[in-house]
Amino acid sequence: MSIMTATLRMLLIFIILGQMRLVTSTIVPVDGVFIITMVADPDGRTDMFLQLDGHDAGFVAYAEEYVIAGLTVGLYLKAGTRVGARFTGDPEGATNYGMALASYIKDSFVTVRSNGYSSSQSNAVHFHHQYLSGRTWKSIPATSTFRAKHNGIYWVSARPDCGSGDVSLNVGGGLFNVFCNGDKAISASGAFYLLAGEALQLTFNSGGTLQGGTSFSFVYLEGNQRTYLNNYQHAAYTAWADRTGTIYKNETLSFDGRIATDYGWLYNPTYRTWTIGTAGSYIVSLRGDPDSSTLNVHLYKNDDMKYVFAWYNEGGTKSGQAGIFDFASGDKLFMISPNERYLGPETFMSIALLWTESGYAFI
């Protein structure tokens, strides 16, 4: 990999440990779309607010009810933008929170960002209610349909502005809702395999116009080697797709349906396990089934049950979360229904290998 390529694809990592109250900010080195992951630790009752050039950017990882909340967003950032975070509450004792910032410099991406700041307040985002398709800026209406240009893995995210109502996102046949819980805008994101021409639809349920805090991004993850997708029509099956666009359905990913107890291994259909084959940085997304008893889904790494993040359902909606994490060959992911209920048929989990270089993420 050349120095320039490494620079364009570099990850800028922020690590928060112990009683530190602030994330050390960093300067964006190049123009481009950045995928930003934040994780808030509820042990410190600490919400985490993304900041651009010292201003709140409208994205928050809320730490509520002992849930480690993950938030991943995609933003178009200009070189020189300072990225950081601020916290609320008392972070004393919080150890599992931090940020990862991944850069994709591609002509094939589409990203949308409706920014609440004017250009005089922040130079991080220079457009309002527009999306970037290749090199062309276009306006976006309240209901929009985007189509995949290539077979491959797409990462999507959406966030409503609580002044304009909830947002529905229909991706590849699976619906993700993002919604407002009081004055808190709940984001959703996920990784999907889409065929060329397949539609992604964004709808603002209120029928109103885009407000300043609305955000939507749609990024083609060019260069993926392989992606594993849980088939949300039935949680017991998986599918994976390789770089050529070939889709292989119903191939299991080494989940054994067992859980370790003091009395040995027991079968537990509320528990799914995936084994990582290739070491590298992955984007992971998950979502519970709001139509069944599986409202909450927790994701752990390896037998020590270290949190990756948890997804907490509110109001029966299909809100989901995604994040960028490093895994070694042989690492295991455990997806668990914490209330020990069966994983519903619309439970969703996907894991996509971004690249094989390691050491980029904060877990």
Note the pLDDT of residue 32: 64
Q: pTM for the whole thing?
A: 0.54
Is-contact 326 280, C-beta < 8 A? yes
How many whole angstroms separate alpha carbon 316 and alpha carbon 177? Answer: 10
Q: Are 353 and 226 in contact (CB under 8 A)?
A: yes
From edge to edge, which strands make up the β-sheet containing 136-139?
A: 136-139, 130-133, 110-113, 215-220, 152-159, 188-194
pLDDT digit string, tens, across residues 63-83:
655 555 556 666 667 778 888
CA 249 to chain centre: 24
Instruction: Give the pLDDT mean for 10-36.
Output: 50
What pLDDT was estimated at residue 28? 73
What's the pLDDT at 53? Answer: 86
- Looking at the DSSP bridge assignments, the partners of residue 103 are 34
CA dist 215 → 30, 127, 226, 363 (Å): 21, 12, 28, 26
Sign of the C-alpha dihedral computed for residues 116, 117, 119 and 125 taken in this order: negative
Identify the residue whose tokens are 């306006």.
139
- pLDDT confidence of residue 345: 54
On average, the pLDDT of the chain sits at: 54
Q: Are 111 and 217 within 8 A, CB to CB?
A: yes
Q: Which residues of 184-222 are buried (b: 16+ CB within 10 A; e: fewer)?
A: ebbbbbbbbbbeeebebebebeeeeebbebbbbbbbbbe
Residue appearing with tokens 């020189």: 80
Sign of the C-alpha dihedral computed for residues 232, 286, 183 and 208 taken in this order: negative
CB within 8 A of 203, min separation 6: which ones? 142, 143, 167, 168, 169, 170
Q: Per-residue pLDDT averaged across 294-315, rounded? A: 58
Instruction: Determine the pLDDT at residue 9.
Output: 33
* 96 vs 69: CA distance, rounded Å: 10
Provide the pLDDT confidence category of residue 137 given band limits of 50, 70 and 90.
Answer: very low
Write down all domains in the chain, each with its CATH number in brackets. Answer: 3-104 (2.60.120.40), 110-220 (2.60.120), 226-355 (2.60.120)
pLDDT tens digit sequence for 210-256: 455 556 666 666 544 344 433 333 223 333 333 333 433 333 333 33
Top-confidence residue, 12 or 181: 181
- C-alpha distances (whole Å) from 167 to each of 14, 109, 133, 164, 186 are 30, 21, 21, 9, 10
